[in-house]
């Protein structure tokens, strides 16, 4: 296929939008076509379970690249249409409306979809997944003050939704199947902190709560647990993780293994196809292994790398993972992954029930591996660099809250 076909981007999410804008910033003047199955131009998902659910921002304020900017940049946007097949031999993509779109180079940025609850009744109209603007619109329409919301899943999305729902006047129950919330991403002490905060705010938070079934005919009225309890529900929100959208890549014969396999330049196993964002599995220099991440920084930074690769620049993707979550007045910021740590110290007092800010530093063999910071922006910002370089520090030297963190770093290095 000739170069005139240009670059086609599958998926108009955070990563797809980033590739498109970055291509123009880098001076690419060829044709760029972005295809998305949602009707919206690329938008930021993080506010969905935060400010957007709370009604504090409009859908337009979520748009990363508004339609006018896309038009100005001459990026063709085909929205509300699903791509159904990639024909690598003839270098074209089939759409569900029968169209075929040729490409010179292809970008797979298909992200992921919310994991549905594998239970009878999960398709009732008052059971909601939470991934898109449209999902939140539906949840908000049912979020009447006094309504009983049961959230299944005590991960970031479930907990953020709980915090907003309380503010909207709902009665909120959170059910987490594991013995503690946020179990996959942090230590028991931090989980206990968030559990306390939510309970104090008024959430009925139950851990080790195994959902056995949903009850109700037209609408779900109760959620049953394996311990025999029966919880009344006017609406049920399911936040139990994500399934990467890799089917298109897989059926096209690309190598897929917990995500579309890419190298550090976002290249797939086809030299004419790159991929970026939640749907990819990339080699992480920081971790020393492959990883599939679900975060905005990953989507954006890998999107930039993919755009560079498309125009022939060799810019490797070597970022350290980072993430944030907003719940009530708390901003949690995490940099690095704590897996394999052998020591941790806390700057702040987690045993004090009034604590609203602290930072946990995780070490391996004396090197800083990762940091979880709650309302400690300076610690987070400065730690990003320290984690990236796996700085060798004296852990105890970081804990003195009376001395500014910046000053302590120099002492801790000594
Ligand atoms: C409620 C919520 C809160 C979040 N909060 C945070 C946060 O605080 N911090 C953080 O870092 N991250 C957060 N995330 C995660 C973050 O939003 C994602 O990591 C990011 O959106 C990934 O971008 P992406 O472009 O890879 O995928 P997506 O944003 O999923 O975009 C992919 C797009 O491709 C479309 N698509 C898929 N298949 C096809 C097809 N065959 N044809 C056409 N289109 C297709 C999808 O429908 C979607 O629109 C949150 C996510 C959610 C849902």
Domains of the chain: 3-113+243-310 (3.50.50.60), 127-238 (3.50.50.60), 329-413 (3.30.390.30)
Region for 133 from its dihedrals, namely left if φ exceeds 0, alpha if ψ lies in -120 to 50, beta otherwise: alpha
Average pLDDT, the chain: 96
The residue contributing the CA closest to ligand 1 atom 12 is: 295
What are the distances in angstroms from CA 128 to CA 135, 138, 256?
7, 8, 29
Neighbours of 192 (CB within 10 A): 13
Of the candidates 27, 40, 49, which has an alpha carbon nearest to the alpha carbon of residue 143?
Answer: 49
> Is residue 297 within a helix (H) or strand (E), and if so which, with residue range?
helix 296-310
Q: What are the counts of helices (DSSP H) followed by strands (DSSP E) for the chain?
A: 10, 26
Quote the CA–CA distance of 42 and 15 in Å, as a whole number.
9
Q: Is residue 103 within 6 Å of ligand 1 at its C-beta?
A: no
Task: Report the relative pairing of strands 235-238 and 127-129 from DSSP bridges.
Answer: parallel
Q: Is the CB of 83 under 6 A from ligand 1?
A: yes
Provide the pairing of β-strand 235-238 with 83-87: unpaired
| pLDDT (0 to 100) of residue 410 | 81
Mean per-residue pLDDT, 243-271: 98
Q: What is the mean pLDDT of residues 70-94?
A: 97
Nearest CA to ligand 1 atom 4: 46
Crossing angle of the two packed helices 156-167 and 188-201, in degrees rounded to 10 = 20
The strands making up 222-225's β-sheet, listed across from edge to edge, are: 211-215, 222-225, 230-232
Inter-helix orientation angle 405-413/377-388, to 10°: 30
The atom number, within ligand 1, closest to the CA of 16 reads 25
**Quick one: average pLDDT of 24-43?**
97
Give residue 114 CA to ligand 1 midpoint distance, Å.
10
Query: What gap in Å lies between CA 190 and CA 338, rounded to an integer?
Result: 13
Q: Identify the sign of the CA torsion 8, 14, 18, 21.
A: positive
Q: What is the mean pLDDT of residues 227-255?
A: 98
d(CA 9, CA 275): 9
Tell which phi-psi region holds residue 388, choosing left (phi > 0), alpha (psi between -120 and 50) or beta.
alpha
- With a 6 A CB cut-off, is 41 part of the ligand 1 pocket? no
- Ligand 1 nearest atom to the CA of residue 17, by list position: 25
Which pLDDT score, from 0 to 100, does residue 239 have?
Answer: 98
Placement of tokens 């479930």 in the chain: 158
Instruction: Kindly report, residue by residue over 102-113, the tens digit of the pLDDT.
Output: 999 999 999 999
Atom of ligand 1 at shortest range from CA of 13:
31
Give yes or no for residue 1 having a pLDDT over 80.
Answer: no
Mutate to test the pocket of ligand 1, among 35, 48, 110 (most ligand atoms within 8 A of CB): 110
CB distance 280 to ligand 1 below 6 Å: no
Write down the pLDDT at residue 136: 98
For the cut 80, the answer to whether the pLDDT of residue 210 exceeds it is yes
Q: Which pLDDT tens digit goes with each residue over 356-386?
A: 999 999 999 999 999 999 999 999 999 999 9
Residue 131 C-alpha to ligand 1 middle, in angstroms? 7
Percent of the chain with pLDDT over 70: 100
How far does the centroid of ligand 1 lie from the alpha carbon of residue 45, in Å?
6
Beta bridge partners of 361: 345, 371
Query: Cβ–Cβ contacts within 10 Å for residue 228, how many?
Result: 7
* pLDDT-derived band at 414, boundaries 50, 70, 90: low
Half-sphere CA count of 105, side-chain side, radius 13 A: 25
CA distance 252 to 257: 14
Is residue 61 predicted with pLDDT exceeding 70? yes
Give the residue from 368, 360, 319 showing the smallest Cα distance to 340.
368
Give dist(CA 285, CA 307) in Å, integer: 20
Q: Whose CA is nearest to atom 14 of ligand 1?
A: 46
Output the CA 100–ligand 1 centroid distance in Å.
25
Per mean pLDDT, which range of 305-314, 330-339, 402-411 is the poorest? 402-411
Question: Which atom of ligand 1 is nearest to 47's Cα?
Answer: 3
Q: Are 280 and 16 in contact (CB under 8 A)?
A: no
Expressed in angstroms and rounded, the spacing between residue 133 Cα and the centre of ligand 1 is 11
The CA–CA distances, whole Å, from 350 to 241, 339, 345, 353, 405 equal: 28, 21, 11, 7, 18
* Max CA distance (Å), the chain: 67
């Amino acid at each position: 296929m000739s170069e005139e076909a240009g670059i086609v981007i599958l998926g108009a999410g955070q990563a797809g939008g980033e590739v498109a804008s970055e291509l123009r910033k880098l001076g690419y003047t060829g044709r760029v076509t972005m295809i998305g199955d949602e009707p919206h131009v690329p938008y930021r998902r993080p506010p969905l379970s935060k400010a957007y659910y709370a009604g504090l921002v409009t859908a337009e304020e979520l748009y990363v690249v508004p339609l006018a900017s896309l038009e100005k940049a001459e990026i063709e946007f085909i929205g509300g249409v699903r791509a159904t097949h990639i024909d690598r031999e003839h270098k074209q993509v089939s759409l569900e409306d029968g169209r075929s779109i040729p490409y010179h180079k292809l970008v797979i940025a298909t992200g992921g979809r919310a994991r549905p609850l594998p239970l009878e009744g999960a398709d009732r109209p008052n059971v909601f997944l939470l991934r898109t603007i449209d999902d939140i619109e539906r949840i908000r329409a049912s979020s009447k003050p006094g309504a009983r919301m049961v959230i299944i899943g005590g991960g970031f999305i479930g907990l953020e939704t709980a915090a907003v729902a309380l503010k909207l006047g709902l009665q909120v129950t959170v059910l987490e199947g594991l013995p503690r919330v946020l179990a996959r991403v942090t230590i028991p002490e931090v989980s206990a902190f968030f559990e306390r905060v939510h309970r104090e705010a008024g959430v009925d938070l139950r851990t080790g709560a195994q959902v056995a079934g949903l009850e109700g005919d037209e609408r779900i009225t109760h959620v049953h647990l394996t311990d025999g309890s029966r919880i009344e529900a006017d609406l049920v929100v399911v936040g139990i993780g994500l399934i990467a959208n890799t089917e298109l890549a897989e059926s096209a014969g690309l190598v897929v293994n917990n995500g579309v396999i890419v190298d550090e330049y976002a290249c797939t196993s086809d030299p004419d196809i790159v991929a970026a964002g939640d749907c990819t599995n990339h080699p992480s220099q920081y971790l020393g292994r492959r990883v599939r991440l679900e975060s905005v920084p990953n989507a954006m930074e890998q999107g930039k790398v993919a755009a560079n690769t498309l125009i022939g620049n060799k810019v490797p993707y070597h970022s350290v993972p980072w993430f944030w979550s907003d719940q009530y007045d708390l901003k949690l910021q995490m940099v690095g992954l704590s897996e394999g740590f052998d020591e941790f110290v806390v700057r702040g007092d987690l045993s004090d029930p009034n604590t609203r800010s602290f930072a946990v530093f995780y070490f391996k063999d004396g090197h800083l591996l990762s940091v979880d910071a709650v309302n400690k922006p300076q610690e987070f910002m400065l730690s990003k660099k320290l984690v990236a370089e796996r700085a060798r520090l004296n852990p105890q030297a970081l804990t003195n809250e009376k001395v500014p963190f910046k000053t302590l770093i120099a002492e801790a290095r000594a």
